[in-house]
Amino acid sequence: MSESMTDFARATQEILLAGQRMDARGWVPATAGNISRRLPDGRIAITRSGCHKGFLKAEDVITVNGGGIAHRPGDKPSAETLLHCQIYQQDPTAGAVLHGHSVASTVLSMIEKSPALHLADYEVQKVFEGQTTHEASVPVPLFENDQDIARLAQKVTPFFGTMPAGYIIRGHGVYVWGKDMPTALARLEGLEFLLACLLERRKLGQ
């Protein structure tokens, strides 16, 4: 990207490319999912409500403040913007947040009765922060879906600092973040690969 690009223009380009990548892998069907990036001045660049993430245009990216309020009148952020804001508030190192709706995350979170999925013995789990060996067990908390996003956020808050692989909303999808967009994408791809492995193993009765 050009050095002359503004921070917002650079963030917008990253969000558009992330949307295309997520769409190519089937993780953001229809208008599902949302993508954001924190700007140096504290604003949050995030996808507008109701747009397909595989066909994003520059005008589909807006900015909100730390409370999820759009800076420009008439701009409508996703209803789940507060979950993005929460991540940025709870993790000062977070620079990008990705939310997708894959088949694996949706199905596994609906059939798993325990409060978390556990990833263990997979080499790929080393993509998550703090993980140095496949022998560790990485928990992925599961939270009940709730249309009251503020109430859902309250349930997620106590788990920050213990979710290196992000978390899943049951029957809904994953939330993953990282210091920048490449890191967030790598973690999302790692998590989705591992969830697909878990689903395949369950199909095989393992």
What is the set of domains in the chain, with CATH numbers?
7-203 (3.40.225.10)
Q: What are phi and psi of 138, to 5 degrees?
A: -110, 115
Which residue stretches of 25-171 are H helix?
Answer: 81-90, 103-111, 149-156
Residue 121 confidence (pLDDT): 87
Residue 3 confidence (pLDDT): 42
pLDDT over threshold 70, residue 122: yes
Length of the chain: 206
Question: pLDDT digits over 129-183, tens only?
Answer: 877 777 788 999 999 999 999 999 999 999 999 999 999 999 999 999 999 999 9
- Residues at the binding site are 99, 101
SS3 content of the chain, % helix, strand, coil (to 5): 40, 20, 40
Question: pLDDT digits over 55-103, tens only?
Answer: 999 999 999 999 999 999 889 998 899 999 999 999 999 999 999 999 9
pTM of the model: 0.93
Q: How confident is the model at residue 198 (pLDDT cuts 50, 70, 90)?
A: very high
Reported as half-sphere exposure (CB side, CA atoms, 13 A), residue 178 has a value of: 19
- Residues at the binding site for Zn(2+) are 99, 101
Q: Stretch 2-28: mean pLDDT, rounded?
A: 90
